[in-house]
Amino acid sequence: MNTDKISKTMLFKGMDPDEIDKALTKLTSIEKKYKKGSRILSAGKTTERMGLVLEGSVTIESNDIWGNRTILSHIGEGQFFAETYSLLPDEPLLVDVNANEDCTILFLRTAILHSYSSENWAIKLTSNLLMISSHKNLNLSGRSFHTSPKSIRGRVMAYLNSVMLKQGTNEFDIPFDRQQLADYLNVERTALSKELAKMQDDGIIRFRKNHFIVDSE
């Protein structure tokens, strides 16, 4: 287990090595590896554990019985998923968590965190969990801005603008391939590809695969 990488994540911010070791032990941490495309957590099931992505990345998806997929978020290295569900272990998941690529996940049984509420490591970890949940809420509300425009171009521009603001540059990589971007923006892939080509012809953007340059002038 790469404890150095783990200690640098937001969940363990402000905690010394001894406190981190206690947290990993008390919350019965388990490390698992998944192949690209594997289902990690399934909608309709419950979980007592949150996941920390140590290597690779995962996607949070809504998949209905008719085969429609909507990607809600991309979780990269050092980020977390299912932290809310793990604190509400009787609440069935409304989403699937899938391996976006080969990945390594550290699971922590945060459902029992309340049993250690008076211990320093647990107080710090709970505070960090609150910060993580707050950031997640911002990200989810951000997606609503990306999908609210009626036109495909409007959705693409809203999404690329938010990435540009976060990155602080007009040249960046996005975490989605073309199909995933279409699923995230809730549009058809063919229509998205056509609109991206038009935007490039109009001098608004330049792109190659998932690398984009936004021309603001």
Question: Where exactly does CATH 2.60.120.10 map onto the chain?
Answer: 3-134
Stronger pLDDT, 66 or 31, i.e. the higher one: 31
Instruction: Please say whether the beta carbons of 69 and 63 come within 8 A.
Output: yes
Average pLDDT, the chain: 93
What number is the average pLDDT over the span 9-20? 94
Return the closest-CA partner of residue 202 out of 214, 184, 185, 211: 214
- Distance of alpha carbon 93 from its chain centroid, rounded? 15
- Kindly report the pTM of this predicted structure: 0.80
Calpha distance 111→101 (Å, rounded): 27
Boundaries of CATH 1.10.10.10 in the chain?
148-214
Reply yes or no on domain 148-214 having CATH 1.10.10.10.
yes
Q: Which CATH architecture has domain 3-134?
A: Sandwich (2.60)
The per-residue pLDDT for range 77-117, each reduced to its tens digit, is 999 999 999 999 899 999 999 999 999 999 999 999 999 99
